[in-house]
Amino acid sequence: MRRSTEDVDAYLHGDDVAPDLARTDAVVRDVLPGLSRSLWRGVFWGGTEQVIIGYGDIVQPRPRGADVEWFLVGLAQQKRHLSLYVNAVEDGAYLGRRYADRLGRARVGAASISFARLDDLDEAVLREMLAHAGRTLDEGTPPTA
């Protein structure tokens, strides 16, 4: 995946974009207003073509190979759901797992949180988790789990 120079707002207003993607983007921007925001395009690690809105710039160590430039939080539309990628770690665990039991109707993987609609999530808990992720950047916590 590579960072694109495309306009994020133009992408969000595209014909094939779910309204909840824009709503979720607004929540992320409200909680993390000082972070960069850019589109990332390309083949994701699972082998699928993706478009991800990335917020915040990090360098993520990889278990094999060179470190990669990445985002602290990412947001993507899938065929039947939205994915929120929270690449923030505290005490060796991704934050999504720490908040999983309180987030609402979502599937939580390592850094991935999948949900059908923003209304399926407890927005207050989502905001709490995003703010927590932002604090890891402020503290210089490396994003490794």
Token couple for 88 = 């923030």
Rounded Cα distance between 52 and 76, Å, is: 5
| Beta bridge partner(s), residue 75 | 53, 84
Residue 144 forms part of a structural domain: no
pLDDT for the residue 145: 52
Query: How many residues are listed for the chain in this entry?
Result: 145
pLDDT for the residue 141: 57
Number of domains in the chain: 1
Residue bearing tokens 């306009």: 7
Q: pLDDT per residue over 57-111, tens digit each? A: 998 877 788 888 999 999 999 999 999 999 999 988 999 999 999 999 999 999 9
Residue 33 forms part of a structural domain: yes
Domain range holding 9?
A: 2-139
Residue 110 forms part of a structural domain: yes
Q: pLDDT per residue over 4-58, tens digit each? A: 999 999 999 998 999 999 999 999 999 999 999 999 999 977 788 899 999 999 9
Residue 83 forms part of a structural domain: yes
Residue 145 forms part of a structural domain: no
Q: pLDDT per residue over 113-123, tens digit each? A: 999 999 999 99
